[in-house]
Chain A
Amino acid sequence: MTITALPPDPLRPLIRRLTGDEKHEPSSHSTLDVLWVLYDRVLRVTPATVDAPDRDRFLLSKGHGPAAYYAVLAAKGFFPAEWLDDLGGWDSPLGHHPDRLRIPGVEVGTGSLGHGLGLAVGTALGLRAQGFADARTFVLVGDAELDEGSNHEAIAYAGAIKLPLTAVVIDNQSATHGWPGGIAARFPGWDAAHVDGRDHEQIENALTRRHDRPNLVVAAVAPKWSDR
């Protein structure tokens, strides 16, 4: 895996504030580039429109390790950067898993894996039923999170009813038993694209295009463990 685009500079100090980690580059956060491209180039949502009924929705299903998510939201002005200085503290709105009631711009509280896809299917159906034809729904899932069976209920149903939502699977080969045959093979009836999870142009191209059925984007980044 080559790093073809460095993460934008504004995120580097923000992530450092969160983690206090001077040694690791922001690129050690597997979701960072996808999240940045989503909020910088794709999603129709701003701090001013977090309650607009027809806004685009982004659901972070993989609620683990939300540092990159918090940094991107702070960089885009959804909450003050000062919040990043206290992660998981009693007085902090930012937990180790995000809470939608505490953080402006966060659509769902997640942490227990395997809940985001089902909520995203319901969200996309709810937007469609109310005639918000322009509102798009995105959900980000980890490749290890796909182990949870609840995901596969949502994947099969979305494919069967041709529901146009976009799922991004961040693939850092962290699933204990892997996905022999590939992740896309687990998404029957979906369009699928594979991108370099660090390449902003590739990510943007894959996420911007509208589909008339569910769309999977597998974003590959460096393996979580170097022995794989």
Chain B
Amino acid sequence: MRQTFVDTTTELLASDPRTAVVLADISADAFRPAMRRHPDRVLNVGIREQLMTGVAGGLALTGLRPYVHSYAPFLIDRAYEQIKLDLGHQDVGAVLVSIGASYDGAAEGYTHQSPGDVELLDTLEGWTVHVPGHPDEVAALLRAAARHDDRVYIRLAEQENSQAYPDGGRLRVIRRGGPLVVAVGPMLDPVLEATRDLDVTVAYTNTPRPLDAEGLRQLADTELVMVEPYLAGTSARQVAEALGGRPHRVLHLGVGRAEIRRYGTWQDHARAHGLDPAGLRAKIAEFLW
């Protein structure tokens, strides 16, 4: 996914003079050819994430379209107030593109993990959040973000599905059956495997913000399971608002809030949080039957 991001953004730099890229050392090597061609619009500020976001705000104030990139905990958690004030309060936008997600940095430890990034952005106004589940979904999301000035967050991860769904912006039904299970981004493959022989409807989206409330109302009956690759319950408010006034039970699955002080791989952490197929199956089956 990171390579698709670098390639697509490098193309945008050549085709759209509004495009700018702001980095804080992370991925600077990958952007070196682009930096040579567009030294005024590919900017590496060094290991300075507050400045990275402030610079993006300033660029946007002059009419450019900044793509801002780092590891998720440094891009979102560390520079939260710059995101709030240097972008939102100034009423300008940027495209924030993160790597690392909830626990790609499993061996790196909690300092390199950001399970709370989407929930942090949920405290702010006007953010569109994309969580692509496959590299082939990434380019279109990046190109679409070049055509306006809104605030967009694109969360790239190592975990990916076997198949791309370019039409995953709304809730897209993958399998029809009983109660609805919504899989966000890379949660689709584990959800499909977990529910292989269960009578459920599985729907996919790579755009949890804004959440497709209309699709949710159409597809959900009285029971619903949300499976998200960031903090469990991040979409609880959005689901409650979409289904408000209608009796329903909902199970929110995602990354737990307790820090897991172990290393290993992202697969180990997925299992520890119950987001592997076996863990998902146990919780979904217990909730629905």
Contact = CB atoms under 8 A, between A and B. Distances in A.
Contact of A153 (B48, B86, B89): B48
B48 A130 contact: no
B46 A118 contact: no
A23 B56 CA distance: 43
B54 A157 contact: no
Nearest to A118: B54
B63 A53 contact: yes
B97 interface: no
B40 A119 contact: no
Given A118-B57, A119-B90, A126 B62 contact: yes
A223 to B, nearest CB: 30
Contacts of A100: 90-91
Given A115-B82, A118-B58, A120-B58, A153 B50 contact: yes
Interface in A181-217: none
Contacts of A120: 58
- The secondary structure that dominates the A interface is helix
A115 B58 contact: no
B53 interface: yes
A140 interface: no
B151 interface: no
A58 to B, nearest CB: 12
B51 A154 contact: yes
Contacts of A157: 45-46, 48, 51
Nearest to A53: B63
A129 B41 contact: yes
Interface residues of B, number: 29
B48 A122 contact: no
A10 to B, nearest CB: 29
Given A109-B90, A118-B57, A125-B59, A150 B20 contact: no
B64 interface: yes
Nearest to B91: A101
A129 B54 contact: no
A147 to B, nearest CB: 14
Given A101-B91, A112-B85, A126 B50 contact: no
B213 interface: no
A123 interface: yes
A119 B58 contact: yes
Interface in B36-95: 40-41, 43, 45-46, 48, 50-51, 53-64, 66, 81-82, 85-86, 89-91
A101 B64 CA distance: 19
B171 to A, nearest CB: 34
Interface in A117-161: 117-130, 149-150, 153-154, 156-157, 160
A157 B24 CA distance: 11
Contacts of B63: 53, 126, 130
A24 B59 CA distance: 40
B48 to A, nearest CB: 4
B124 to A, nearest CB: 14
25 contacts: A53-B63, A107-B61, A109-B85, A112-B81, A115-B54, A117-B54, A118-B55, A118-B57, A119-B58, A121-B51, A122-B55, A122-B62, A122-B66, A123-B58, A126-B20, A126-B60, A126-B62, A127-B62, A129-B20, A129-B41, A153-B45, A153-B48, A153-B50, A153-B51, A160-B46
Interface of A: 53, 100-101, 107-109, 112, 115, 117-130, 149-150, 153-154, 156-157, 160
